[in-house]
């Protein structure tokens, strides 16, 4: 019987497919059957129960969050197993109503793919007003998201009132200034910045969220990212009497000077990872337990997030207290000490009937027995945890970090280096291919994260969240996705809803891709990556594109240095601006005859020949596809220019961003050959000035000579030295276009 019903349903579904695209619902329901006509409210019907909620029919709806929704011209009927399912049916109705003002005759059978569908908001780097968090909760509920993770404590500010430790907010919630611009910045505002939530405000927020079936997970960071707490209570540090130190890679002149004059511990004013972390002492554990008591009193969440990420071991290594503790307890190394720390806290949290969740570094030195892992550095942490039968929330930065750039629009504000366009979020599948079906059951859901180093206010936060948070909602809910075009169509219907709610959003829907193919004397440039339904316009005059610019119909031939600006026309307006700069030189389109190590994903999007394709990398966006990157390996490339060629200059650029594990090469060498067999060195440079973060051009002037084969070798910093972010790991080498003149 059940079988027949679903076969019939499938037939109807196939017949109805053409009209499905019209339903502006996000996340898209799992089964939709649209009929003819619309539900019409008639005044005479007001006394009838036009909406019937049937939570008794457990046999029809099995998922606690699922629902059946049937709309006829005369009646709307909801069947759900629980109040949550009925609530989600209502959200579907509200979306239909809000987006199209009428509710079509329809049958929907819906239930989520994952039990956990979340967003994280970092209120530590920048404080976000309660009113904004409520607006966010409103939209999350409409999109059937059920967890808001609040990152409440950071190096740059402690944001939650703790009655037992008043200095956490009187001292820890205020920093004396903020780095200006992109790290390492052009100075410091030297203006006090702060903010915190009272316990009463948070309790009210928890109740507001609960009414929308959203759980709020509080995160109290430990043992790292603890500078604000340490500034308030220096005894939490291994070295209470030492002034706040910046790691070498986090050098920022303004803050450095301030420490010299002020002394003592300060709330951090720049971004990064800092060495002064919690000491694993009885004083600290007592502090944490007292703090968590108050936190658990405010937040009924079964998950308590304890951070655990990015904890340098530098202080623990040189602390005699830590070294003695390790000997006494038989703790093998500092990673095991981190595990000891987390496991002690887990025991306490478990004793209160709650469970811990932490970033994937809590795997270091052995996972706490009942911990849930939030996999952020990639999928590996999640895969390891799932294989060990631990619950996992997937939030890999390459797919879920909503603070990364969302377009190559030159107007996009400063963001973290990564590039994560809407389509890249949408195409993410939270279940890693490496897991068996049984292991995959430990993947409990997916979350989008908004870190706010470069997001100073609610409007920018909203702009970065939307529409990408909608793709996260869909990834968490929709079992069989309907495709990116179908999704973006629905997103455009959502824009007026966000606008009406006073929320900002980005209109970047597509990832306009500018690619090249070498031709004699230049390149053919293609603009693609978007739905064929929309026109693309472009210019090379250096201005933002306008609707009156040239319409793109096919590859554009570029034979000299140039800038291209392209835009997509949506509703007679330009959206999705993209730009690229070209250099046509003697390396452009040369034959790559050897590349000893290939660039590593995801920094290989333009392929092995991305450094001779005529397209320059973008100064700020590390993952624009045009920066090629090697992890711990040398760049060793040999080109054939086709014939003996007169050259006078060879140049390229490298990134120095040591906070992101990206180091300059230790040396760059160029060699030349006439026959492709015997190479002689024509230039060597080393001992680059590493103190300046940013991009370094390495250029060789060649005494005018004729060469056919060119070999370029750049050696990496093999292992990141102590004192720098990622110490002990291989460094990354990032290289731009090779230019031969």
Q: Which is nearer to ligand ACM, 374 or 707 (CB)?
A: 374
Choice between 309 and 619, CB closer to ligand ACM: 309
Beta bridge partners of 578: 566
Residues 616-645 contacting ligand ACM, CB under 6 A: none
Under rule CB under 6 A, residue 380 binds ligand ACM: no
Q: Which residue's CB is nearer to ligand ACM, number 122 or number 439? A: 122
Token pair in block for residue 294: 């108050």
Question: What is residue 417's three-state secondary structure?
Answer: strand
Residue 269 or 310 having the CB closest to ligand ACM? 310
How far apart are CB 397 and ligand ACM at their closest, in Å?
Answer: 7
For the chain, report the end-to-end CA distance as a whole number of angstroms.
Answer: 75
Query: Least CB distance from residue 400 to ligand ACM, whole Å?
Result: 10
Return the residues of window 489-508 that contact ligand ACM according to CB under 6 A.
none
Helix (H) or strand (E) holding 673: strand 667-673
Q: Would you say 110 or 310 has its CB closer to ligand ACM?
A: 310
Closer to ligand ACM at the Cβ: 582 or 732? 732
Q: Of residues 645-664, which lie at the interface with ligand ACM (CB under 6 A)?
A: none
Helix (H, G, I), strand (E, B), or coil: what is residue 10? helix
Give min distance, CB of 388 to ligand ACM, in A: 20
Q: Considering only CA atoms, which of 726, 732, 654, 734 is closest in space to residue 686? A: 654
Least distance to ligand ACM, CB of residue 250, Å: 15
Closest CA to 379 of 365, 353, 398: 398
Residue 309 interacting with ligand ACM (CB under 6 A): yes
Beta carbon nearer to ligand ACM, 224 or 421: 224
* Least distance from ligand ACM to the Cβ atom of residue 452, Å: 12
Closest to ligand ACM by CB, 373 or 738: 373
Least distance CB 272 / ligand ACM (angstroms)? 11
357 neighbors 301 (Cβ within 8 angstroms): no
Residue 310 Cβ vs ligand ACM, minimum distance, rounded to whole Å: 5
Query: With respect to ligand ACM, which residue has the nearer C-beta, 375 or 731?
Result: 375
Sequence-distant (6+) residues with CB within 8 A of 245 are 259, 274, 275, 276
Q: 607 near 555, Cβ under 8 Å?
A: no
Give whichever of 224 and 476 is closer to ligand ACM, judged by the CB atom.
224
| Shortest spacing between CB 101 and ligand ACM, in angstroms | 41
Whole-angstrom Cα distance, residue 52 to residue 67?
Answer: 12
DSSP 609: T
Q: Which of 312, 321, 325, 410 is nearest to 361 (CA)?
A: 312
Task: Give CA 595 to chain center in angstroms.
Answer: 31
CA distance 343 to 358: 11
Instruction: Supply the minimum distance, in Å, between the C-beta of residue 118 and ligand ACM.
Output: 14
Residue 179: Cβ-neighbour burial (10 angstroms; 0-12, 13-18, 19+): buried
Reply yes or no: is the peptide bond before residue 483 cis, omega within 30 of 0.
no
Q: To the nearest whole angstrom, how small is the minimum distance from the Cβ of residue 401 to ligand ACM? A: 7
Report the phi/psi class of residue 327: left, alpha or beta, with left for phi > 0 and alpha for psi in -120 to 50: alpha
Among 275, 310, 346, 439, binds ligand ACM (CB under 6 A): 310
Closest to ligand ACM by CB, 310 or 669: 310
Distance of alpha carbon 113 from alpha carbon 394, whole angstroms: 13
The residue at minimum Cβ distance from ligand ACM is 309
Query: Nearer Cβ to ligand ACM, position 278 or 359?
Result: 359
Stated as kind and residue range, the H or E segment containing 259 is helix 253-262
Number of residues that bind ligand ACM (CB under 6 A): 4
SS3 per residue for 93-155: HHHHHHHHCCCEEEEEEECCCCCEEEEEEECCCCCCCHHHHHHHHHHHHHCCCCEEEEECEEC
CB 584 within 8 A of CB 523: yes
Q: Which is nearer to ligand ACM, 140 or 402 (CB)?
A: 402
Asked whether position 359 contacts ligand ACM by CB under 6 A, the answer is yes
Q: Per-residue x/- marks for ligand ACM, 360-379, CB under 6 A?
A: ----------------x---
Interface characters, 524-563, with ligand ACM (x: CB under 6 A): ----------------------------------------
3-state DSSP of 161-205? CCCCCCHHHHCCCEECCCECCCCCCCCECCCCEECCECHHHHHHH
Min dist CB 393 to ligand ACM, Å, is 12
- Contact code string over 250-289 relative to ligand ACM, x by CB under 6 A: ----------------------------------------
Residues 139-178 that bind ligand ACM (CB under 6 A): none
CA-nearest of 219, 84, 208 to 153 is 219
Sheet with 67-71, edge to edge strand ranges: 31-38, 104-110, 67-71, 76-80, 51-54
Residue 307 Cβ vs ligand ACM, minimum distance, rounded to whole Å: 8
Minimum CB distance to ligand ACM smaller for 243 or for 602: 602
Quick one: 143 or 249, whose CB is closer to ligand ACM? 249
Q: How far is the CB of 361 from ligand ACM (least distance, A)?
A: 8
| Residues of this chain, 578-617, that bind ligand ACM according to CB under 6 A | none
Shortest distance, position 420 Cβ to ligand ACM, whole Å: 13
Q: Min. distance of Cβ 359 from ligand ACM in angstroms?
A: 4
5-31 CB burial, b ≥16 within 10 A, e <16: eeeeeeeebeeeeeebeebbbbbbbbb
Q: What are 22's two structure tokens?
A: 């019209």
Residue closer to ligand ACM, measured from CB, 96 or 424:
424
How near is the Cβ of 432 to ligand ACM at its closest, in Å? 18
Residue 451 or 611 with smaller CB distance to ligand ACM: 451
- Mapped onto helix, strand or coil, the DSSP state of residue 668 is strand
d(C-alpha 685, C-alpha 687), whole Å: 7
We find the least distance from the C-beta atom of residue 409 to ligand ACM, in angstroms, to be 24
What residues numbered 314-353 form the site for ligand ACM, per CB under 6 A?
Answer: none
DSSP state letter for 160: B
CA distances in angstroms from 496 to 43, 93, 142, 507, 741, listed in the order given? 28, 17, 14, 11, 51
The packing angle between helices 334-351 and 282-298, to 10°, is: 40
Point out which residues pair with 629 in neighbouring strands: 734
| Residues found in the chain | 741
Q: Which is nearer to ligand ACM, 151 or 490 (CB)?
A: 151
Positions in the binding site for ligand ACM (CB under 6 A):
309-310, 359, 376
């Amino acid at each position: 019987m059940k079988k027949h019903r679903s076969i019939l349903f499938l037939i109807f579904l196939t017949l109805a497919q053409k009209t499905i695209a019209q339903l502006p619902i996000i996340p898209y329901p799992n089964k939709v059957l649209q009929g003819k006509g619309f539900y019409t409210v008639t005044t005479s019907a007001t006394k009838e129960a036009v909406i019937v909620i049937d939570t008794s029919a457990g046999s029809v709806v099995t998922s606690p969050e699922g629902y059946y929704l049937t709309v006829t011209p005369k009646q709307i009927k909801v069947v759900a197993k629980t109040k949550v399912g009925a609530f989600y049916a209502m959200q579907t109705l509200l979306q239909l109503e809000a987006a199209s003002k009428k509710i079509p005759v329809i049958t929907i059978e819906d239930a989520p793919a994952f039990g956990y569908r979340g967003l994280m908001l970092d209120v530590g780097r920048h404080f976000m007003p309660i009113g904004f968090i409520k607006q966010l909760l409103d939209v999350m509920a409409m999109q059937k998201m059920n967890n808001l993770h609040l990152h409440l404590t950071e190096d740059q500010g402690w944001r939650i009132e703790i009655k037992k430790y008043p200095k956490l907010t009187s001292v820890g919630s205020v920093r004396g200034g903020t780095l200006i611009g992109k790290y390492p910045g052009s100075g410091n505002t030297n203006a006090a910045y702060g903010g915190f939530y009272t316990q009463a405000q948070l309790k009210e927020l928890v109740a507001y969220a609960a009414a929308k079936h959203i759980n709020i997970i509080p995160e109290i960071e430990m043992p790292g990212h603890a500078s604000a707490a340490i500034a308030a209570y220096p005894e939490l540090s291994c070295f209470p009497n030492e002034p706040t130190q910046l790691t070498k890679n986090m050098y920022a002149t303004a803050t450095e000077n301030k420490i010299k004059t002020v002394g003592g511990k300060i709330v951090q004013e720049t971004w990064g990872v800092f060495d002064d972390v919690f000491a694993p002492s009885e004083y600290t554990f007592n502090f944490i337990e007292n703090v968590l008591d108050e936190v658990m009193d405010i937040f009924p969440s079964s998950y308590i997030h304890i951070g655990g990420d990015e904890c340098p071991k530098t202080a623990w290594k040189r602390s005699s207290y830590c070294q003695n503790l390790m000997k006494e307890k038989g703790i093998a190394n500092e990673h095991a000490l981190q595990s000891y720390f987390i496991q002690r806290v887990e025991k306490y949290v478990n004793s209160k009937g709650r469970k811990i969740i932490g970033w994937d570094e809590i795997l270091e030195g052995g996972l706490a027995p009942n911990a849930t892992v939030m996999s952020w550095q990639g999928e590996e942490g999640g895969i390891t945890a799932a294989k060990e039968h631990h619950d996992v929330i997937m939030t890999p930065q390459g797919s879920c970090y909503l603070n990364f750039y969302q377009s190559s629009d030159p107007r996009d504000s400063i963001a973290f280096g990564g590039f994560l366009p809407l389509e890249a979020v949408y195409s993410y599948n939270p279940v890693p291919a490496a897991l068996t079906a049984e292991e995959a059951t430990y993947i409990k859901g997916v979350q989008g994260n908004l870190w706010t180093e470069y997001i100073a206010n609610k409007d920018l936060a909203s702009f970065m969240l939307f529409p990408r948070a909608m793709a996260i909602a869909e990834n968490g809910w929709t079992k069989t996705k309907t495709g990116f075009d179908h999704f973006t169509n629905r997103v455009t219907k959502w824009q007026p809803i966000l606008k009406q709610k006073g929320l900002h959003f980005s209109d970047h829907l597509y990832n306009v891709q500018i690619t090249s193919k070498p031709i004699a004397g230049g390149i053919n440039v293609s603009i693609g990556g978007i739905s064929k339904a929309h026109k693309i316009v472009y210019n090379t005059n250096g201005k933002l594109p306008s609707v009156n610019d040239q319409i793109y119909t096919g590859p554009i031939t570029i034979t000299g240095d140039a800038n291209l600006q392209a835009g997509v026309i949506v509703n007679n307006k330009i959206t999705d601006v993209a730009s690229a700069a070209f250099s046509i030189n003697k390396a452009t389109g040369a034959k790559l005859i050897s590349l000893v190590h290939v660039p590593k994903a995801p920094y290989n999007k333009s392929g092995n020949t991305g450094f001779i394709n005529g397209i320059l990398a973008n100064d700020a966006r590390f993952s624009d596809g045009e920066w090629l990157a090697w992890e711990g390996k040398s760049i060793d490339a040999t080109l054939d220019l086709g014939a003996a060629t007169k050259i006078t200059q060879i140049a390229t650029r490298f990134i120095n961003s040591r906070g992101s594990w990206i180091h300059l090469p230790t040396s760059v060498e160029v060699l030349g050959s006439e026959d492709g067999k015997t190479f002689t060195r024509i230039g060597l440079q080393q001992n680059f000035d590493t103190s300046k973060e940013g991009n370094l051009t390495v250029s060789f002037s060649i005494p005018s000579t004729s060469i056919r084969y060119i070999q370029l070798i750049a050696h990496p910093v093999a292992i990141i030295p102590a004192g720098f972010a990622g110490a002990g790991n291989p460094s990354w080498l990032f290289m731009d276009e090779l230019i031969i003149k």
